Amino acid sequence: MLKCTKLFSNVNNNTNQILSPNPMSLEEALKLADQIVFEKTGQHLDDLQKAVLQGTLKRKIYRQIAEDFNYSESCIRGVGAELWKILSKELGEDINKSNFRSAMERFYNSNILNFAENVSGSVNICQKQRHPPDTPKSHQPNQEKSHSKQPATLHQDLDEMPELGIFYNRTTELEALKTWILQQNCHLIALTGIIGIGKTTLAVKLVQQIKDNFDYIIWRSLETSPTFAEFQADLVQFFSQSQPENLLENTQKFLPLIKYLQKHHCLVVLDDIHHLFSSGELAGKYKLGYEEYDCFFKQIEKLSHESCFLLIGWEQPIKLLQVKSKKTLIPILQLTGLDINNAREILKDYDLAEIENWERLIHLYQGNPLWLKSVASQIQELEENLIELLPDDAVLLPEDLKDSLQQQSDRLSQPEKETLSLLVTKNQPISLAQLLETTQIPPSDLFNTLQSLCQRSLIQKQKSLYSVPPVIRQYYGNKLRLNIEGFGDKTLTKSEFIDS
Ligand SMILES: Nc1ncnc2c1ncn2[C@@H]1O[C@H](COP(=O)(O)OP(=O)(O)OP(=O)(O)O)[C@@H](O)[C@H]1O
Ligand SMILES: [Mg+2]
């Protein structure tokens, strides 16, 4: 609890006025709250926190405050809840929206005499450290906000970030990501794309370029599917640089981590986020027991802070993308392949003799660097002029490429398998109307399924026409011919498929 002796030195420096207890002005109440919050967190109130307190002092309900400041009501509630918690802790009594004003007045008046005795003192004279105890020693810059553009100390945990090998181009994508992160201060950004397209590589390059802009930067792969409690404990440990607390029993589940994200300017990169989602379901549905991530990401999106989460994976949290609106900007970068010139460089790395067909090859493999590497390696091993020997539309599927596609294939739901099978049988792009005529999947399920397949980058939509890219067509075509793993519409015979 706060034991102030001279807290009010800059709340009201007119001793004559304050010697007789009287109601505080709105401004005084705000200043007092600001000082109390500063004592606790080392940061002054931000604009949104001020808005919540001002609205509260004017006896507005959360919904009105939210409307006045163009925020969602839940966001305002979250900010309020965090403030009441800080104030309650510091004042040693239960503060909430309905008693905030009277509590401030009580506290103000009960400390006035102390203030009068010490009016010449400085602001920070409480018997507490200026910085909260959980601020790492190395991170106690004498600044109002720790997230200045050039932090005094940079805290990094990039052990899980892969090393960057050869890197071609991606200038446009890097610029887009930098704008979202550094200029627009987006809280959440989704980087998605088919396996091997270069998501991780792009993010590594990005981190290398922008890491000096952050106080804290952390890279985690979610490949081991950590539960939210494990994930939070891991990050809190990094931030606090102390032993993990027993957060599992904490009732206010997201506050420990969010507290750090609000206090500092952090970049958190979460790679392989698809490991949080179920196999056998449409893309981006949380596994059982992983829904807490959803609440957490929503808080990250809504609350006031300057930190950013970059979510990378084959799938993105479907619920999060659904709340997307003009107010909540969650940019999504669906990564496509390298352009012809840069993809050419990859083939050159394999010392393949340049041939006219290279461009066709790059188109077939959609400029996917992993696929190009795989096929270049096979060509290198077998026969340099292999491509010239094959028909124009022949797609080589080396075993490692098939293995990587299998990983994504294993995650598909049955309706996705059926729809993909249907699309694979069509030689031409097909409209929604044609699809509806052909399939027995109910329309609303079909729409969700198509959305999900597009999200996974397994199908393409161009001018209202759906099609399957050549590598995917070849891969799933083989499965369909063999009628394995749930592929193959029961109404479609093998001969029908081959004829179509
Ligand atoms: N811009 C690039 N320049 C050169 N090579 C690249 C580039 N992007 C990716 N690669 C190479 O392509 C391969 C796949 O890249 P990466 O692992 O980044 O893909 P990914 O999309 O993260 O794959 P996954 O979906 O499996 O996580 C790697 O060998 C990588 O070095
Ligand atoms: Mg990756």
Q: Which fold has domain 412-499?
A: Arc Repressor Mutant, subunit A (1.10.10)
Tell whether ligand 1 has an atom less than 6 A from the beta carbon of residue 337.
no
Does 206 or 108 have the greater pLDDT score? 206
Q: Is 195 in the pocket of ligand 1 (CB under 6 A)?
A: yes
C-alpha span between 339 and 169 (Å, rounded)? 9
Ligand 1 near 168 CB (within 6 A): yes
* Ligand 2 centroid, distance to 198 Cα (angstroms): 7
99-103, 260-264, 484-488: which has the minimum mean pLDDT? Answer: 484-488
Per residue in 374-412, pLDDT (tens digit) is 999 988 888 767 766 777 778 899 999 999 999 999 999
Dist. CA 368 → ligand 2 center (Å): 13
User: How far is ligand 1, taken at its centre, from the CA of residue 483, in Å?
Assistant: 31
In the structure, what pLDDT confidence band is assigned to residue 170 with cuts at 50, 70 and 90? very high
Give the pLDDT confidence of 252-280 residue by residue, as tens digits.
555 678 989 998 999 999 999 999 999 99
Confidence band of 137 (pLDDT split at 50, 70, 90): very low
Residue 275 is predicted with a pLDDT of 97
Query: Among candidates 442, 468, 439, 444, which has minimal Cα distance to 456?
Result: 468
Q: Report whether residue 166 contacts ligand 1, using a CB cutoff of 6 Å.
A: yes
**For residue 106, what pLDDT is reported?**
78
Domain with CATH 3.40.50.300 in the chain: 155-334
Q: Which atom of ligand 1 is nearest to the CA of 204?
A: 18
| CA of residue 310 to ligand 2 center, whole Å | 13
Q: Whose CA is nearest to atom 15 of ligand 1?
A: 198
Which ligand 1 atom is the nearest neighbour of the CA of 205? Answer: 1
Q: What is the pLDDT of residue 478?
A: 82
**Residue ranges matching CATH 1.10.10.10 in the chain:** 412-499
Q: 172 CB under 6 A from ligand 1?
A: no
Q: Is the CB of 367 under 6 A from ligand 1?
A: no
Q: What average pLDDT does this structure show over 224-234?
A: 94
Q: Average pLDDT, stretch 64-69?
A: 84
Q: What is the dihedral of CA 29, 33, 36, 39, to 10 degrees?
A: -120
pTM of the model: 0.68
Least confident of 291-295, 310-314, 453-457, 480-484: 480-484
Q: Which of the two residues, 172 and 98, has the higher pLDDT score?
A: 172
Q: Which fold has domain 155-334?
A: Rossmann fold (3.40.50)
pLDDT score at 120: 33
